[in-house]
Chains A and B, each alone.
Chain A
């Protein structure tokens, strides 16, 4: 019988209408806002390569710090911070070069090479990594991340703005 009562159906129409209008406003505001929050994460990043320098005189089996300008995000132009890398040469040739990041796999604090310990030490929570970047002590769950890189014929190291694994 409700349907025959014009007052009730008017009321029901108004309730439904209010809900529809509310949902419409929420969608109209929500979609752009959620999109803008997510966009920087999924924005494609251009792969660039930076010259680090000549590494022919880096001593063998000794992680040696270098810096390279790294754009940490897909954002507007800001002065690029330098990131620290450890170049490690295993043996005498240039083909056995690895580039370790100083980003601790635990909480991303800056690890440092302790030459007396022959270990990478994280000053935050005491994480330890060996010369081959393996996490050998403390809380770090994974080895040190590495940067993609190449060494040209003249011994110049180029680092790509990309880690070889997820951090």
Chain B
């Protein structure tokens, strides 16, 4: 039996280089210290993969038509406990994904991992962040209950405040001036094919770039962190093993290019990644079983007393809609667009080699203020809408 398995492996290896692929996939040097923080990226990937899997199966029960979308979800709510759980996982996984992705960005930002040569890692990450947000908002439009309908109305209306092309973009998304049957199928196609096609392509690039330059990790792994401490030279921690690819062995900026101590990705990092991902999935499953995915009354444009409330991740923008005076209404678009531009520009503005967050107040302080601004808008918005 063992011999047969061995022979099969040989056969496959000769034809498809299985061993090479496994080695390439699993063996890599990763920085040792702070490795629990590096699990956020893989947790993000796991949560996205769960979305792909549950999403594929949801297309086997959900009908993207104004006539049947709500009906199909109402049916599974009443008659199909398993499908309801799958839908619950899809919803709560999306929510947790946004949180974990946010933490992953904060980690990358504070550790200065976006610096040379990893600028494109950061840029592809910014692109992924925007695509995940687009997935979240298009997904919220699909169930065609009251919440989904009014989310569709308000969300597709936001581009209309762009100068010149605004109304055209709104009508293009909606398939007309008003929200209707075309809006739902278009948004379904965007959610199920268009964005995922871009998303998974960009994930491939993000991972390829990660592998090309190696995980940066944290400043504590680098010689630069031990330069001086109260005027004394502090000796760096001893390197446990020689620098190996993908880290450069002949570094141009020695202090920050290769970590002092590395260990194998498999099994040391994969173990930590696995634990964190498992915890994430347990949380998702608990929420899917305990709370599930809500379904309000069917979409009804004539409802006289319905108060649309945005998805929680939309609250900062919603609060901006309240705060911005009507003469400057385009600001609701230009403030978030400015934020995205800052994210894009970050690795080109902050170019010094220093990675220690305590030595980079010029970047960390504005970053913290932006995060605080978003949190305050969220709190104001939830206070206004939910009387918290």
Residues of A within 8 A of B (CB): 37-38, 40-41, 65, 67, 70-76, 78-79, 81-84, 106-110, 112, 123-126, 135, 138-141, 166-167
In the A-B complex, the 6 residue pairs with the smallest Cβ-Cβ separation, listed nearest first, are A72-B178, A73-B180, A72-B180, A73-B176, A123-B307, A84-B302
For A140, give its contact among B181, B182, B308, B326 (CB under 8 Å).
Answer: B326
Total contacting residues, chain B, CB less than 8 A: 39
Q: Are B301 and A84 in touch, CB under 8 angstroms?
A: yes
Most A CB contacts (10 A, CB to CB) among B174, B181, B302, B329 go to B302
B154 touches A108 (CB 8 A): yes
User: Are A41's CB and B307's CB within 8 A?
Assistant: no
The reply to whether B176 and A72 form a contact with Cβ atoms under 8 Å apart is yes
Contact at A166–B167, with CB atoms within 8 Å? yes
Interface residues of B in 273-332 (CB under 8 A from A): 299-308, 318, 321-322, 324-326, 329
A124 lies within 8 A of B67 (CB): no
Kindly count the residue-residue contacts between A and B in the assembled complex, taking CB atoms under 8 Å apart.
Answer: 106
A108 to chain B, nearest CB (A): 5
| A residues near B325, Cβ cutoff 8 Å | 139
Q: Give the nearest-CB partner of A126 in chain B.
A: B322
Q: Which residues of B have CB within 8 Å of A65?
A: 304
Give Cα A82–Cα B324 distance, bound, in whole angstroms.
32
Interfacial chain B residues near A141, Cβ < 8 Å? 326, 329
Q: What is the CA–CA distance of A110 and B302 in the complex, to the nearest angstrom? A: 8
B308 touches A82 (CB 8 A): no
Checking B158, B178, B300, B304 against A112 with a beta-carbon cut-off of 8 angstroms, the contacting residue is: B304
- B357 close to chain A: CB less than 8 A: no
A78→B154 contact, CB < 8 A? no
Interface on chain A toward B: helix, strand, loop, or mixed SS? loop
Q: Which of A38, A75, A166, A167 contacts B180 (CB 8 A)?
A: A75
B window 205-256: CB within 8 A of A: none
Contacts of B179 in A (CB 8 A): 72
User: Which parts of B324-362 form the interface with A (CB within 8 Å)?
Assistant: 324-326, 329
Residue of A nearest to B310 (CB): A124
B158 / chain A contacts, CB cutoff of 8 Å? 107
Q: Are A67 and B302 in contact (CB under 8 A)?
A: yes
B18 within 8 A of partner (CB): no
Interface residues of B in 163-181 (CB under 8 A from A): 167-168, 171-172, 174-181
* Residues in chain A near residue B123, CB distance under 8 A: none
Contact B301 A110 (CB under 8 A): yes
At the interface, yes or no: B203 with Cβ under 8 Å from chain A? no
* Closest chain B CB from A47 CB (angstroms): 14
Residues in A whose Cβ lies below 8 Å from that of B168 = 41
Return the contact of A139 from the options B178, B299, B306, B322 (Cβ within 8 A). B322
- A112–B305 CB distance below 8 A: yes
Indicate if the CB atoms of A81 and B175 lie closer than 8 Å: no
Q: Is the CB of A110 within 8 A of B303?
A: yes
Q: How far is the CA of A67 from the CA of B301 in the complex (A)?
A: 10
Q: Does B65 touch A at the CB level, under 8 Å?
A: yes
Q: Does B122 contact A (CB under 8 A)?
A: no
- Determine the residue in chain B with the shortest Cβ distance to A39: B175
Residue B188 at the A interface, CB < 8 A? Answer: no
- What residues of B have a CB within 8 angstroms of the CB of A167 in the complex? 177
A43 closest partner in B (C-beta): B176
Please indicate the chain A residues that have their CB under 8 angstroms from the CB of B174 in the complex. 73
B100 within 8 A of A: no
Q: Is B92 an interface residue (CB 8 A)?
A: no
Given known contacts A110-B303, A123-B308, A78 and B176 CB-to-CB distance under 8 angstroms = no
